[in-house]
Amino acid sequence: MAKRVTRREWTAQDEKALKKHSKEKTPVSAISKALKRTPGALRQKARNLGISIGHRQRPKKRARRA
């Protein structure tokens, strides 16, 4: 039997937590576990709020040898 989808409303606390994670540049997978929501739901809400989430850390550039 397939699992039934239950939608939960976003509370003010949920939105505040999402904004906090955005500022701290927390990975989406970690936010997903903390807020118990799917990564897709988090991305949609972030877009609606006008914030970015899931910041990737870029590898540091190596210094060239001359």
Question: Taking 70 as the threshold, does the pLDDT of residue 57 lie above it?
Answer: no
Q: Quick one: pLDDT at residue 35?
A: 95
Instruction: Judge whether 61 lies within some domain.
Output: no
Instruction: Judge whether 57 lies within some domain.
Output: no
Instruction: Judge whether 56 lies within some domain.
Output: no
Range of the domain at 21: 12-49
Instruction: Judge whether 22 lies within some domain.
Output: yes
pLDDT in tens, 31-55: 999 999 999 999 999 999 999 998 7
Instruction: Judge whether 39 lies within some domain.
Output: yes
Which structure tokens are listed for 52? 């970015």
Instruction: Judge whether 55 lies within some domain.
Output: no
Band (pLDDT 50/70/90 cuts) for residue 29 is very high
Question: Taking 80 as the threshold, does the pLDDT of residue 63 lie above it?
Answer: no
Question: Taking 80 as the threshold, does the pLDDT of residue 18 lie above it?
Answer: yes
Instruction: Judge whether 28 lies within some domain.
Output: yes
Total-model pTM: 0.74
Domain count across the chain = 1
CA distance linking residue 53 with residue 30, whole number of Å: 11
